[in-house]
Structures are given as structure tokens and as C-alpha cells.
Chains A and B, each alone.
Chain A
Amino acid sequence: MSLFSLSKKIKKLKQLKKQAQQNQQPSKAIPSSLLDQINSIKEKTGNSIDVVIRKLQLGDSKGPDTAVVFVEGISDSKAINDFLIESIMNNHPSPNSRPIYDILFEKVVALGDVKEIKDWDNLYLSLMSGESIILVDGEKRALSASTRGGEQRSIEEPGSQVTVRGPRDGFTESIRTNTALIRRRIQNPDLWLENMKIGSVTKTDVSIMYIKGIAKDEIVEEVRNRLKRIEIDSILESGYIEQLIEDQAFTTFPTLYHTERPDMVAGNLLEGRVAIIVNGTPFVLIAPAVFIQFFQSVEDYYGRADIATALRFLRILIFFISIIAPAAYIAVTTFHQEMIPTQLLVAIAAQREAVPFPALVEALIMEVAFEILREAGIRMPRAVGSAISIVGALVIGQAAVQAGIVSPAMVIIVAITAIANFATPAFAVAISARLIRFGFMFAAATFGFYGIILGVIILAVHLCSLRSFGVPYLTPIAPLIPANLGDTIVRLPMWAQKKRPRLFSNKETRVGDNQKPQPPEGRGMVNDTLEKGDQDEQ
């Protein structure tokens, strides 16, 4: 009973809170006096020097009757000077004509996107996103002109997902550039973009992008709802969003894919996924994500299918090596010595002879040393980087062996594991494997191979339990969807991959019939040319 009443009380409290929030923020109206307007802005922005307020005279009054307000740096100063200020100054309306506000709106402001603003909240939102505000004396409304701009990083090759073949452009920090990069690839009105502002303080632009008709409406709705749910002060990177909307919070595996490559986003949109683009970061989120996706690279689709298939098998192997290699070494040398060929066992035993630690401790020392080295390497300035690699090579490679702290075989195992880890195409999964590896090492040191198998089973069960926006993480393998198996570990040629992923897309067919390329029947073409050649010679 008490529990029930408590929950009721909580509900009531929540309702009260909501009401209070709604009451608290009545959008204040804009005063009609220009002076009041300017003072109010000055007060609100704390006289910040990058908020520029330029008073101008347009009408026939003596003093200034108009003001242009913009924030320097995030707005395009050239556009403001040429099309706003200069335009206002050069315009001399005849006396007693229509109100100044209307003239401004219809004749003077030579910019594409001009909106009317009636309350302070929207005014500040526009102002802080780089738009210019035009205030008019005697009007309880203002104009906002789209002059977003300022210095931005240009489009460069993405740093995190480099390919040999494929487009070289990567996302930047500007959301508009990023959406443009995607739009250029999918020139279709069905590519829909929805915008929202998230973050009570930062008011960050977050857009969701999908292809209407291909993406499933339920999934788009789910993404929209999860984004709307977010109540947080700031969104500084798409990682914030990722943590707030993922299905399962306690897992090392990523349930959203992030990428810097517009071609990858385009490809995923065409498979019916939804992209979440966050202003201020080049990393775009893709939902829903499935496990097998993290072993695929965009290059797989640009290269030959057979080679891509072979590489995907290699990547799965790499994933297992990076998880299991040190654990297998521990299991074999402490539990299952009979599994190693005699010669190798003797060689390993000779190396272990000088090492004072049990295999687990030896492995931990090396793995931790390597993790330290890697962490140091990432954050170091480039000039120091080479020094680190020298120290690392000497300390881990040579000195540790000579000092008798670890055996050379262990160095090889750690090296293979590390390289395998680097070779995983998606960083998010690689880093997860890095962590799981330690669990496997403890399992192997406790139960041997039995422990490793137990770990693999737990891992498999865990992966099966994961979902990304309601889509099972292991599709199309578990649950098995035979029609979608053509693009998993195996990649079929383009003409054979006829279906889109069934669980999150409509309009399944994507390739026409009889698309398999074939040479023309008969050898007429070749023979004709050959005969012609013969005649020419004669």
C-alpha cells in the first residue's frame, strides 16, 4: 500500500514540476522602443564585445531608427556588410511611405532567408546561431537574416576511416556542410532532414536524416522520440547523444555506428538506416547498428566482391585473435601443455624457465605495459611520438625479455594481439575487444580452455541479447534472414545483392533482374576486328 501511494505522490510531484516549468518561461514580448530593445540585448549578453550592435538611420527621423545586431565570428561579416548594412544605408525611402519594417522586409534586406521574430527567446536563438537581427524602432517584432558563417575547417580527408579507394571528403564540424555532403550523394527529394535543438545551455543543432519510403517509419519515430526525450545542459559531441539514446547502457559493444565518411552515411541511409548529425562534430551517428556492420569497411563495396569476402573473414579472425590470443596462451601453458607440439613446448618452457611469474601475471604485465604505451602514444605531440616508440620497442621488446620479466613468446602474443586490434576496421569494436580481452585472460587462468569457452558462450549470449533501436544486434545471422546474408561476412557482387535489410527498411528490392554482366554472344566482335587487322596488313 505504502509503495503504491508513494508512486502516486511521485507522479503528482512530476506533474507539478512540469506545470512550473511551463509557467516559468513565458516568452517575453519585445518592447517597441529601439533603445529598450538594445539595452535589453546588452543586459542579456553581458555587454560581450563580440555582440555587435550597429545603429542605423533609414527613415526620415533625426536619430537612428534601425539597428543590426550580430555576433562577430559566427556570422558571415562580408554578407552583413554588403547585403545588410550597405543596403540599408543606400536606401532612402520617400517620406510618408509604408512603415520602415515592411520596407526592410520586402526591399532592403538582400538575403535569402529572412524571418520575423516576435519574442526574445527566438531572437536570442537566432542571434547565437549566427543570424543577424534587425531591430526597428517602434516595432514589437524583429527580423532575422540568415548570415551564418565565419571561419570553419574546410572539407578534408577523414582521419579515422582512411581508404585506398573511395571518395576523399570527410565531415567537418559544421552541420550544414555535413548535410550538404550527404545531399550531394543522394539527389532525391525523399531524403528528409529534421532539425531540433538539444541542450538547455548549448542549444546544439541535431538533425536526423533518412530517406522517406526506404527507412521504416517506426524506427524513424523511435529515433525522434529518443532524441526528444533528452534533457541535458549540453551536447558537445555525438558521443553525448549516443550515450543518451542507446538501447543497452551496460555493454562494451557499440549499438550505434559513428563515422566521418559521407559515403558511408549515404550507403547506410540507402539501407534504411537513420543518420543523426550533430553540429560541432564530424562524427555522424547511424542507427540502428548491427554487429556485423563493424567488420565492414566502405571499401568492401568499392572493390571486388571475392576480395572483400576474404577480407571480412580475416577481420572476424582478427577480432577473435584480439580477444582470445593472450587467454589461449595462458590456458595452453598452464593447463593444456599436451596441446602444444613437443618441440614448441620445449622452446616455450626454455623461455619460461627464466621468468619468475606465473603465465597470467606475465601476460598482465605485458598487456598493461602495452596499453600504457598505446595510451601514451595517442596523446603525445608528434615530436615526442618517435621517442615513445623507441622506448616502447626497447623496453617491451628487448629489455623486458633480457631482464627475465617476460618470455619472448609472450612478447609475440602481445604484439599479435595489438596488431590484430589495430586491424579491426571499427574503432568502437576494437576498443571493446581490448577490454574484454582481460576478462578472458582471467577466465583462462582460472579454468583453462574451459574458461575460454565459457567466456565465448557468455559473450555470444550477451551479443544475442543486445538490440539497437529494437533491431536484434546479430541480424541477419541471429535471427537468421537468408535474404540478407549476402552482405554479412560474405559480400556478394552488387548484381546479386538484391534485397535491403528486412528488419529496418521498406522497399526491399534494390537491384534489377539480370544484372549480371555478360560478354556478347558469339565472338563476332573480336573476329571482325582481327580480320580487319589482317586485311590492313595485306
Chain B
Amino acid sequence: MNNKRILFILVFFVSTLLLSGCWSKKELTDLAIVAALGIDKNEQGRYVGTMQIINPGNVTSGMQGGGGSQGPPISIVTGSGDSIVELSRSTSRKLSRRLYYAHTNLIVISEEIAKEESISTILDPLERDAQFRSTAIIVIAQGSKASDIVKVLTAIDKIPSNKVIKTLKITEKIWGENIAVSIQDAIKMIVSPGKELAVSGFRVNGDVDKGITMENTQQTEPASLLFAGSLGIFKNGKLIQWVDGETARGSVFLLDKLNASAIGVEWEGKDEAISYELIRQKTKVSAKMEKGKPRVSIEVQAEGNIGETKVPIDLNNPHLLLKLEKEIEKEIKKEITMAIKIAQKSKSDIFGFGEALHRTNPKEWGKMASKWNDVYFPEVKTDIVVDAFIRRTGLRNNPHQVNQ
């Protein structure tokens, strides 16, 4: 009897092992690891997807049996279709492996698509798919096709998608004119009624045809280079405007995403005379109703060092430092005001003023929500209070000129 039981258990286990096969098993050598996906539209109005597939043997150099780094680290496959899923599956006719999207960390959307149709139609299939990571970063191909951004080879980070993402993340931290937006961030912003989407653009300069050859990575100055572009402002999921420079930085300020930057300050009539190195800042946006109209107050606290002086200024004098702080505050306020003006002109609340109002005055917000972007937001009055502090003046006190 006992033997029968053991036999039964044995048969049971062996059959589960044998009959199930290797369900959903996928060997590494059967996978095409997609690093980046670029989405364009062709003349017929069909989607064209450009996949940046990692060529593992060429990425890791010095590997035995890996073949060295002779060939390009990536390989491009394109597919077209009426939907994203269709274009993805259609590539199987050109590819010996299954596309594997779990490591896709960059989505490039062409400017054309971003302007003409809502970005959420692109995000829907990406969020739905189990393989896609919602932490993948989205950028808009600014002034070029999305496929160009995906195709161009880069020198230091061998996988171009890594270069794009790392560039965005680092520039967001130390310069602050761009932001890295992931799929989930974008979806949150689109879904939220009181906030609009802002996504960075990415550009490619030079000759793309040269950029896709290995020679591009073997030059000290690449023939074709990928770099972060402007900040794209969206409304109802559509790209409506690009903002640059100080305006872009003002926007990042308002989004409270700025970590560090360098701000040029005017001193005694001389433009950009003193450079203020911002090291940390905190921006608070709050809204209230005043006489039936929404009013937004913005509080910025900035801390930083003096990074550079071009004029003789006595930095040992605390009164002068206080005066300088006032100048810095003025400059920051100017940038923020510019950003708000542009956003109001485009009637797109990328800063989430509506969300802030929703929190403090949910009832009034309910009435305004549907017409917020077009009617109320452009008219919002803002009070901007900036508190800037100079913490240090670097390794020396006064500029040379003062001591002479």
C-alpha cells in the first residue's frame, strides 16, 4: 500500500516535470533585447517603429568568444503597422529572435506624432504590455525623425539609449533645463485634470548617415551627436510649444525638479557679472480663492555658492552679500515669471496650479475643472516669493581686483 502511494507521488511529480515542458521558457540566445523604441509615422499614416536592438557580443569588449567590439553595439530593425502592437509583431519577418522589451528604457516619439495626435494613444499599448517597464523614459525627437535618434551611434556609452537617458538625468540635476519623464510620470500628468504634461526633446545634429556608422564613435568629435533639446509643453496630450533656456529652467523650478544649476546675475549694470551656483532649492506652490478668482503663491527657497565673479565686489561685506542675494532673487523670479507667462499664453497648466487649487478648494475647482486650461489658467494671478541664500563664496573671498 505504501509502495503504491510512493509510486503515485513519483508518477505525479515526473509527469508534471515532463508534461508541462518548459512553459514560457525563453533562452537568452532567442531574445532580441530592445534598448530603445522610436515611433514615427509614414506618408500613408501608418506607424513606423524603429527598434534599437543590443548586439551583446559587440557591447562587452575584451570578452573571450564574444567577438570583440568590431561591429556596432546595436542593430536597427524597423516595422510598420496601424498600431504599435502590429508594428512590433511585423518585425518578426526581419528578425531571427523575439523582441524583448523588458529592458527598453527609452521611448522616442516623433515631433509629428506628438503634435498631431494625443500621446496617450502611444502610451496605452506600452503600459498595457507586461514586458514594458513603466520607468522607461520618454523623449520627443525634436527637429528630426524618431528613428534618427534611435539610430545614431554614441561613443562613451556604447548603447545609445543609455546615453540619452543618462544625459537627461544628469542635465536635469546639474543644469536644469530638461526633465526626464518616465511612462508612469507621463500617464500621471495626463490623467490628472489640473496638470499638463511637459516632456524633454532630444536632438541630433550633423549628418545622420555618418552617425549610423562605426566611424562616428571612432572620432574625437562625432559627425553626428545626440543632445538634449528644449522642453516640450503639452496640452491635452498634444505638443503645443517648445521652451528653451531660462524659461525652461523657470519651468523646472516650478516643477520643483531642479537640483542644481548656474544662474548669471547682473551687478552694477553689468550683465551676467556674477555666477551663482545653485546647490539646492525647494519650491512650494499653493493656491487659494480670492474674490472668486484663483490666486497662486509660489515660494522658492534657494541655496548656493558664488561660482565666478567678473566685477570687483567686496564679498567680505555682508551688506553687499545681502544685496547680491536680492539680485539673485530677482533673477530667479524673472525666470519663473517668464515660464508662467509662456504657459499661460499656450493655455497649458504644466505646473499643476490646478492641482494645487483642487487640494485647497475642491468645491470651486469642481466648477472650474472643465474650463481650467482655456479660461481660468491664463488669468491666474501669481505671487512669487524667492528666498535666496549665499552659503559660501568658494575657496577665496574677494576677487583679485578688490585687493589691488
A interface residues (Cβ-Cβ under 8 A, vs B): 333-335, 337-338, 342, 345-355, 358-359, 401-402, 404, 408, 442, 445-448
Tell me, yes or no, whether B31 is within 8 Å of chain A by CB.
Answer: yes
Can you show 24 pairs from A to B with CB atoms below 8 A apart? A334-B25, A335-B26, A337-B102, A337-B103, A338-B102, A338-B103, A342-B33, A346-B33, A347-B56, A347-B63, A350-B56, A350-B57, A350-B60, A352-B27, A352-B29, A353-B56, A354-B65, A354-B66, A402-B65, A404-B65, A408-B64, A446-B21, A447-B20, A448-B25
A346-B56, A347-B60, A401-B65 known; A353-B29 Cβ under 8 A: yes
Nearest-CB residue, chain A, relative to B161? A342
> Do residues A338 and B105 form an inter-chain contact, with CB atoms below 8 A?
no
Q: How far is the CA of A354 from the CA of B105 in the complex (A)?
A: 26
Tell me, yes or no, whether B248 is within 8 Å of chain A by CB.
Answer: no
Residue of B28, B33, B59, B102 with most chain A CB atoms under a 10 A cut-off: B28
Tell me, yes or no, whether B267 is within 8 Å of chain A by CB.
Answer: no
Tell me, yes or no, whether B22 is within 8 Å of chain A by CB.
Answer: yes
* 8 Å CB contact of A346 from B59, B64, B67, B105: B59
Q: How far is the CA of A337 from the CA of B66 in the complex (A)?
A: 19
Tell me, yes or no, whether B83 is within 8 Å of chain A by CB.
Answer: no
CB neighbors of A among B335-388 (8 A): none
Task: Please give the number of chain B residues whose Cβ is less than 8 angstroms from any Cβ of chain A in the complex.
Answer: 32
Q: How far is the CA of A404 from the CA of B59 in the complex (A)?
A: 18
> Do residues B28 and A348 form an inter-chain contact, with CB atoms below 8 A?
yes
Residues of A within 8 A of B27 (CB): 333-334, 352, 358-359
Tell me, yes or no, whether B153 is within 8 Å of chain A by CB.
Answer: no
> Do residues B35 and A351 form an inter-chain contact, with CB atoms below 8 A?
no
Q: How far is the CA of A351 from the CA of B67 in the complex (A)?
A: 10
Tell me, yes or no, whether B12 is within 8 Å of chain A by CB.
Answer: no
How near does chain A come to B70, taking the closest CB pair, in angstroms?
13
Over the window 83-115 of chain B, the binary record of Cβ atoms lying under 8 Å from chain A Cβ atoms (1 yes, 0 no) is: 000000000000000001011010000000000
Nearest-CB residue, chain B, relative to A356? B29
> Do residues A445 and B22 form an inter-chain contact, with CB atoms below 8 A?
yes
Residues of A within 8 A of B28 (CB): 333-334, 337, 345, 348-349, 352, 359
* 8 Å CB contact of A401 from B21, B24, B64: B64
> Do residues A349 and B33 form an inter-chain contact, with CB atoms below 8 A?
yes
Q: How far is the CA of A352 from the CA of B17 in the complex (A)?
A: 25
> Do residues A350 and B63 form an inter-chain contact, with CB atoms below 8 A?
yes
Nearest-CB residue, chain A, relative to B25? A334
Residues of A within 8 A of B24 (CB): 335, 448
Q: How far is the CA of A447 from the CA of B27 in the complex (A)?
A: 13
> Do residues B22 and A446 form an inter-chain contact, with CB atoms below 8 A?
yes
Tell me, yes or no, whether B54 is within 8 Å of chain A by CB.
Answer: yes
How near does chain B come to A273, taking the closest CB pair, in angstroms?
31
Residues of A within 8 A of B64 (CB): 401-402, 408
> Do residues A350 and B66 form an inter-chain contact, with CB atoms below 8 A?
yes
Q: How far is the CA of A338 from the CA of B17 in the complex (A)?
A: 24
A346-B56, A442-B17, A446-B20 known; A351-B26 Cβ under 8 A: no
Nearest-CB residue, chain B, relative to A331? B25
Residues of A within 8 A of B31 (CB): 337, 349
Residue of B20, B35, B57, B133 with most chain A CB atoms under a 10 A cut-off: B57
Residues of A within 8 A of B60 (CB): 346-347, 350
Q: How far is the CA of A345 from the CA of B100 in the complex (A)?
A: 12
Residues of A within 8 A of B59 (CB): 346-347, 350
Nearest-CB residue, chain B, relative to A358? B27
Task: Using A359-B28, A446-B21 as known contacts, list a sample of 15 further A-B pairs with CB atoms less than 8 Å apart, ordered by residue number in A.
Answer: A334-B27, A334-B28, A335-B24, A337-B28, A337-B103, A346-B56, A346-B60, A347-B60, A349-B33, A350-B56, A359-B27, A401-B65, A402-B64, A446-B17, A448-B25
Nearest-CB residue, chain B, relative to A250? B6
Nearest-CB residue, chain A, relative to B18? A446
Residues of A within 8 A of B33 (CB): 337, 342, 345-346, 349
A337-B100, A354-B65 known; A342-B25 Cβ under 8 A: no
Residues of B within 8 A of A353 (CB): 29, 56-57, 65-67
Residues of A within 8 A of B54 (CB): 346, 349
